[in-house]
Amino acid sequence: DAGVIQSPRHEVTEMGQEVTLRCKPISGHNSLFWYRQTMMRGLELLIYFNNNVPIDDSGMPEDRFSAKMPNASFSTLKIQPSEPRDSAVYFCASGTSSSRADFGPGTRLTVT
């Protein structure tokens, strides 16, 4: 099992640009989570999907953020336009009905 796959691993972009982060969950997992981690705020849930349906997006900071899960094996998190305060490590995690989550390696985003 390859685990959760995220791409890119590092992203450096300029303020105002669109950023798209990608995630492939573990096969057979029916829940997918997007988390953001910063020193100041720790690990925060942005959105989670169950069976490809968004269940809770209350953590999405604002309209600049959007997430999709078109099928069971792929999800994207998009930021448009990006701002310096979006700089963080973004983790995708997947899980089953037991609620445990297995994390991907993360995408380190730097917005200058």
The residues binding another protein (CB under 8 A) are: 31, 33, 35, 42-45, 48, 50, 55-56, 91, 98-106
Shortest reach from residue 41's CB to another protein, in Å: 8
Sequence-separated (6 or more) residues with CB below 8 Å from residue 95: 29, 31, 32, 33, 101, 102
> Which residue, 38 or 80, has its beta carbon nearer to another protein?
38
> Which residue, 18 or 26, has its beta carbon nearer to another protein?
26
Shortest reach from residue 15's CB to another protein, in Å: 25
Shortest reach from residue 45's CB to another protein, in Å: 5
Dump strand ranges (E) for the chain. 5-7, 10-13, 19-24, 31-38, 42-50, 53-56, 65-71, 74-79, 88-95, 101-103, 107-111
